Structure 1
């Protein structure tokens, strides 16, 4: 049965709906220290910058799920990644196959959109499995078709991580301060990301650490006035001090 209501599925639409639903009216006649009723930017310029950042974060080039599956740029990395992902992907393929089969036979009743969604996911899963199932073979042991799939995968992985350089550089230059948008400091975290992207990629460290902490309302203890970091590192530092961040990631990223 098709619903006459349209589901909100993407993150941006969900956040915008919640933002519009916030109210400045107090229901308890008390003074609140909660954030302002609206999180939307107050000016056209800030709105443009905010939209650019949001679109960039939700672009295909910045998709963390894609990068997770494409996180191998050499045969040795592919072998390691396959050991990690194969059990999960096999389970996903089997589940999707069962769901598609049961929907075709009428054992379960779902909309055509749901059925099409399962089929697309199964096709994508099968493509990864065609590479990962043969990841432990040396190049000489591969059949021609298997070798071609591996080469295409490694080329796509390299391209994906190369494209991420542009995403990070654009994001870092667009961020206006630590509030435009784990316990380790941002410089260390961004350093690991830069190293993983590789080929000498680094973000410009032009943002004053002391100024970033001042804007975020954080103490600048043992911080030299000349110390600099990237804007993304400053953003990370401001986020990790928030109670909500500590509640979710207090014991590390997961």
Structure 2
């Protein structure tokens, strides 16, 4: 029996989170390129419930991260499972969105709005973009990771645990259940996926061990708990030190007001998303730029970004 192909190709689907640094970058790219809202579907993934760690999501993105953009192939003659491609690297997603609405693209879009080119204009700028993105996408300067370790003393730890413990508990619960279901045969998961879950479980248990006693003063803890708390503070300091070094490296080669001068580019999209989350992690909002970013070109960049209509729309 012949397979009947659909008359219309489904829209792309963006899986994202409102608390994800690189989801912000993709949303900003969509706004800068003036995609019409009808051109793709969006689905918010609840990170606090561990939704990116479920088996169904891992089939889309084995890394269990957001954003993920699932793109249909318009001229596919294959079966349903192969008519789609999942883009899981946020850098690749931003580049795809840039190229899909451009004078050179054959992609048919609904929007009639202008689509400025965001790709670097020269080979030198392309190389500089890669270097900058390598810096801010490094795991040791991830605002999403830092948000879990953003405490330096007993007082700040208590405040952090109040907001982040429910988040991590939710992840722990989901992963634990996934492992139980996999071991019982209720779901069919590969050994690779089960190993991923076990690693994630161990990671959350290490953090929760500190959060669950955050209401106690250091002197009230036994030696093991004190050691865990100190290691936690050290981790947070190490992450912030790495961020400070990254800011210095990035700011050193910026032209201003944006990375390469007046043109707003792919580099600016990711840098803006990265800085936004760092600012949110500080106690005094934008004023913290003077401490962690400085008063130079990065601070001016941050001011310029916030004035863009695209930024105000996300």
Fold conserved (TM > 0.5)? yes
1:128 alignment counterpart: 207
1:177/1:235 contact within 8 Å kept: yes
Aligned CA RMSD, in angstroms, stands at 3.0
Equivalent position to 1:118, from 197, 200, 211: 197
Of the two, which has the highest radius of gyration? 1
Counterparts in 2 of 1:88 and 1:193: CA distance versus 1, 3 Å: same
| Cα displacement string for residues 139-175 of structure 1 (whole angstroms, at most 9, x for unaligned residues) | 2221221111111111121222122211111111222
User: Would you say 1:237 and 2:270 are equivalent positions?
Assistant: no
Greater relative CO, 1 or 2 (CA 8 Å, sep 6+): 2
Equivalent position to 2:233, from 154, 165, 173: 154
Equivalent position to 1:35, from 108, 112, 115: 115
TM-score (ref. length: structure 2):
0.59
1:178/1:235 contact within 8 Å kept: yes
Q: How many angstroms does 1:189 deviate by? A: 5.5
2:151/2:236 contact within 8 Å kept: yes
Counterparts in 2 of 1:118 and 1:6: CA distance versus 1, 3 Å: farther
| Cα displacement string for residues 107-135 of structure 1 (whole angstroms, at most 9, x for unaligned residues) | 12344444333332222111100111112
For residues 72-111 of structure 1, what are the structure 2 equivalents within 5 Å?
A: 72-111=151-190
2:102/2:115 contact within 8 Å kept: no
User: Would you say 1:70 and 2:166 are equivalent positions?
Assistant: no
Counterparts in 2 of 1:159 and 1:23: CA distance versus 1, 3 Å: closer
Instruction: Classify the secondary structure of the residue corresponding to 2:202.
Output: helix
For residues 185-204 of structure 1, what are the structure 2 equivalents within 5 Å?
A: 190-195=286-291, 197=292, 203=294
Counterparts in 2 of 1:27 and 1:55: CA distance versus 1, 3 Å: closer
CA distance in 2, matches of 1:61, 1:42: 30
1:59 alignment counterpart: 138
User: Would you say 1:17 and 2:83 are equivalent positions?
Assistant: no
1:61/1:160 contact within 8 Å kept: yes
Instruction: Classify the secondary structure of the residue corresponding to 2:87.
Output: coil
Q: How many angstroms does 1:27 deviate by? A: 8.7
- Larger mean Cα displacement after TM superposition, 40-49 or 107-116: 107-116
Q: Where does structure 1 lack aligned partners over 5 or more consecutive residues?
A: 206-229, 249-254
CA distance in 2, matches of 1:114, 1:128: 21
Hey, which of these two has a bigger chunk of strand by percent? 2
Q: Where does structure 2 lack aligned partners over 5 or more consecutive residues?
A: 1-55, 60-80, 260-267, 269-278
1:164 alignment counterpart: 243
TM-score (ref. length: structure 1):
0.71
User: Would you say 1:246 and 2:312 are equivalent positions?
Assistant: yes
CA distance in 2, matches of 1:69, 1:35: 37
Counterparts in 2 of 1:43 and 1:120: CA distance versus 1, 3 Å: same
